[in-house]
Structure 1
Amino acid sequence: MSELSLNHLSQRFNWQLKDSLFIPWLGLLFLGWVMVASASTGIAEYYTGNEYYFAIRHAAYLLLGIVATMMVSQIPLSWWSRFELKLLLAAFLALGLVFAPGIGHEVNGSQRWLNLGIIKVQASEIAKLAAVFYISGYLVRRKNEVQQHWKGFLMPFVVLGLMVMLLLLEPDFGAVVVLMGAALVQLFLGGVKAGQFFLLLIGTLIISGFVLTAETYRMERLLAYLDPWSPEHVYGTGYQLTQSLIAFGRGDWFGVGLGESVQKLFYLPEAHTDFVFAIWAEETGLFGGLIALTLLSVMVGFIWRTAWKAQRVGQAYGAYVAIGIGSLLALQMIINLGVNTGLLPTKGLTLPFYSYGGSSLLVCCAMVGIVMRVSYETRHPSIESEPEKPVAGRKSRVKSSASAELNPEVSDV
């Protein structure tokens, strides 16, 4: 390879190292690997004879995630803007294929995965990211309609409603909550009227309550959440929660020592996935738990700061995308930690960057690459990131001017 080519590659991939997300992101990847490596030893040895089986696989996913972040960060926002509808169709296709024999893969009674041979992809991960791009583009293209008319405000929920129906058929109620929550945050910061927003919020909560009580197993989880230690729940639907609380109690201030968890030895199911934080808290105590939470919170905070900077320079599309991604990660973190600590009913949902899972880690890394790109184009506004798009019979730039900031008072872009 010539020196000119090496210099070109250095210029293309050097700026990511200076991004504010880079160090927290690497820290999350390393800490997540340590968590998975420690929490998975018992189950790995039992099923494979190699206690490092999941640690090795997670390391491979980690390397792929680093490559994914670097590659995705090279994609201009204009590309995502042009292909957001195709990405949305791909998400619907993935959600439909989980029910296809030979392609869909069932785990613990849920049909959520696509079996691609070397990796199993959770379709909801694709759907959540596609929804973020769709809502971002819609808010920029239809800003006036969203802010002034019910039709413009409700139209994206027709599309998301179809996505929600497919997710509930899997079933994956947790992904529904995260997806809809992120969409509501995007719309709220997009300048919708307060009355419209709160009516929709109330309607969403009512529908969520109906969905929650419509299935027997969800009602059982809710009752177990209210009293997990009762004799009828402690060894049934409340078992995971009680074992998770025991893990937190054993951790005390500084933990029992890395690798010394007892709860991971088949007492706490899904110890290396949904409940990996409980095992980490058992082994490192309150001190280690706060370190892990602080690192994750810093990452989410930097993403929101990137969104704020983007809207300050008139980069509306990039700002909405960063807001959506930050909301997805924050909501998933809140729900997972709420389930682990007993503040929320038990629900299978991974903790971003920390839980074992190839598709989850790869999508999280891709999200970081996208936000890095938003930050890069915010710092270099001369880069043409968003092409013109025709809207309602006239031409309108998706690339917004300074008047297109996230403000309900401004005119349509």
Structure 2
Amino acid sequence: MAQVRQAYRARDAAPSAGLDQVVILATLGLLVIGVVMVASTSIAVAEGYAVSVWHFLAKHLVYIGLGVALAASLSFIGTKQMQWLAPIAFPLSVLVLLLPFVPGLGHEVNGSTRWIDLGVAKFQVVEAVKLLMIVFVAGYLAKRPQLGRARFLETLKPLLLVGLLAGILLKQPDMGSAVVLGAIVGGMIWLAGAAWKHLFVLGLSSLPLLTFAALEPYRLQRVMTFVDPWADPFNSGFQLTQALIAVGRGQVDGVGLGASVQKLYYLPEAHTDFIFAVLAEELGLLGIVFVLVLFSLLVGRIFLIGVQAHRQERPFSAFMVWGIGLWIGMQALVSMGVNLGMLPTKGLTLPLISAGGSSLIMTLLAIGVVLRVQWELSMEARQQPRRRRSWQV
């Protein structure tokens, strides 16, 4: 009889309500790689900016601390409060995205007005907009559980709103972020079960718009450079050819940490957009594979948490987590694809690795949202066995 009772206790034991270890360890692993690579590239980059060799590393560590602090603050904010934010998230996105155009507040870099000057630092507003739009679309989809049977207009609405944001982004200009934002929302709608015929029509209708945007002279030049970067290796193709040289020098096991040659004035933006090329040079194919494995673990685990939320009938949490998984996964793929010469050059950072406070802080905050959802799911599952036992008694 004692053994039978013990078996029942083991079967009904409440699962642990701790934070997901896979998400934490994968995030920590990517952050450590980022710190190492920012330290490695800072020496050469700092001389070009006439600052201390530890300037960029120190800023990177501060941004990590801010991001972790913001993620930790979500222990006081639940998904119910986030859902209350959903209806106003789109108007907030428009407002935030227009801030760089405000005289005295906007900050221009290389002809692009994507940042606002906060005095102590510059913030790229689109990084906040990505999370706000994920929250908005998650709230929208949570109220439409039968999207596959809904009218075409119901599927079209969120994409029209993203189109408005994309128009503002193209004025900054920032086509890379516009494409990523559209892909995130499109992916969320697909995961919500939208009808294939609706998605097919939307996909076809977006092609002329993308083509028109790509015909901007400097964007068209990037596409032509991507097709054959060696046609003009010292001008339009300089970034891509130098990145490919870095990747080729790395071979299997790399040239060693700190031994990169391409980061020494050859590869522009070696600490941000092209940090993955330096990583490939110093750590080789083994380093590339290790980073891919970490991103796969992180994104895969995030999607599994979304599936768990969907099974526990928490649609808002599920769509929000899936949106964050799409964001991190697609931005990582685009950034690595650009560095490996598989995609045209875009100004996108590699999440959790590149130097860049806006991206780093908002990505850590997004991972904090995922962990908050996972913790709530664990707490809910922890209470269910107790309810069942009390009912049986």
**TM-score, length-normalised on structure 2?**
0.90
**Contact 2:124–2:358 (CA under 8 A) maintained in structure 1:** yes
Q: Deviations over 1:83-110 (max 9, x none)?
A: 1233332221121111111111111111
Which of the residues 99, 102, 107 maps onto 1:100? 102
Q: Runs of at least 4 residues of structure 1 off by over 6 A?
A: none
**1:141–1:353 Cα change, 3 Å:** same
- Structure 1 counterpart of 2:377, which letter? T
Q: Deviations over 1:194-221 (max 9, x none)?
A: 10011112222332122111x1001111
1:148 aligned residue: 150
The correspondence of residues 236-275 of structure 1 with structure 2, limited to 5 A, is 236-275=235-274
2:356 aligned residue: 357
Distance 2:295 2:186 in 1: 22
2:179 aligned residue: 177
1:368 aligned residue: 367
**1:16–1:124 Cα change, 3 Å:** farther
1:68 aligned residue: 70
CA shift, 1:320, in A, is 0.3
Query: Larger deviation: 45-54 or 274-283?
Result: 45-54
1:89 aligned residue: 91
SS in 1 for 2:352: coil
Q: Deviations over 1:222-263 (max 9, x none)?
A: 111111101xx2112111000000000111111111011111
**1:145–1:18 Cα change, 3 Å:** closer
Which of the residues 87, 110, 119 maps onto 1:117? 119
SS in 2 for 1:111: strand
Distance 1:51 1:306 in 2: 40
Distance 1:91 1:61 in 2: 22
The correspondence of residues 256-405 of structure 1 with structure 2, limited to 5 A, is 256-381=255-380
**Contact 1:16–1:372 (CA under 8 A) maintained in structure 2:** no
**TM-score, length-normalised on structure 1?**
0.86
2:130 aligned residue: 128
1:78 aligned residue: 80
Distance 2:94 2:308 in 1: 32
**Contact 1:128–1:179 (CA under 8 A) maintained in structure 2:** yes
1:228 aligned residue: 229
Distance 1:115 1:16 in 2: 38
Distance 1:349 1:65 in 2: 19
SS in 2 for 1:229: helix
Distance 2:18 2:282 in 1: 33
Distance 1:274 1:288 in 2: 17
1:397 aligned residue: none
1:165 aligned residue: 167
**1:99–1:83 Cα change, 3 Å:** same
Distance 1:352 1:133 in 2: 19
Q: CA RMSD in A?
A: 1.8
- Structure 1 counterpart of 2:272, which letter? T
**1:81–1:17 Cα change, 3 Å:** closer
CA shift, 1:15, in A, is 5.8
**Contact 1:16–1:70 (CA under 8 A) maintained in structure 2:** no
**Contact 1:255–1:286 (CA under 8 A) maintained in structure 2:** yes
Is 1:28 aligned to residue 30 of structure 2? yes
- Structure 2 counterpart of 1:265, which letter? L
Distance 2:373 2:200 in 1: 30
Distance 1:339 1:295 in 2: 19
Number of matched pairs:
368
**1:101–1:17 Cα change, 3 Å:** same
Distance 1:130 1:18 in 2: 24
Q: Deviations over 1:276-322 (max 9, x none)?
A: 00001111111112112211221111111111111111111111001
Distance 1:202 1:55 in 2: 45
CA shift, 1:146, in A, is 6.4
The alignment-based identity, stated in percent, is 40
SS in 2 for 1:235: coil
The correspondence of residues 206-221 of structure 1 with structure 2, limited to 5 A, is 206-213=208-215, 215-221=216-222
- Structure 2 counterpart of 1:252, which letter? Q
The correspondence of residues 177-196 of structure 1 with structure 2, limited to 5 A, is 177-196=179-198
Distance 1:145 1:252 in 2: 48
**1:145–1:288 Cα change, 3 Å:** closer
CA shift, 1:117, in A, is 1.0
Stretches of structure 1 that go unaligned for 5 or more consecutive residues are 1-13, 385-413
Distance 1:364 1:256 in 2: 30
- Structure 1 counterpart of 2:30, which letter? L
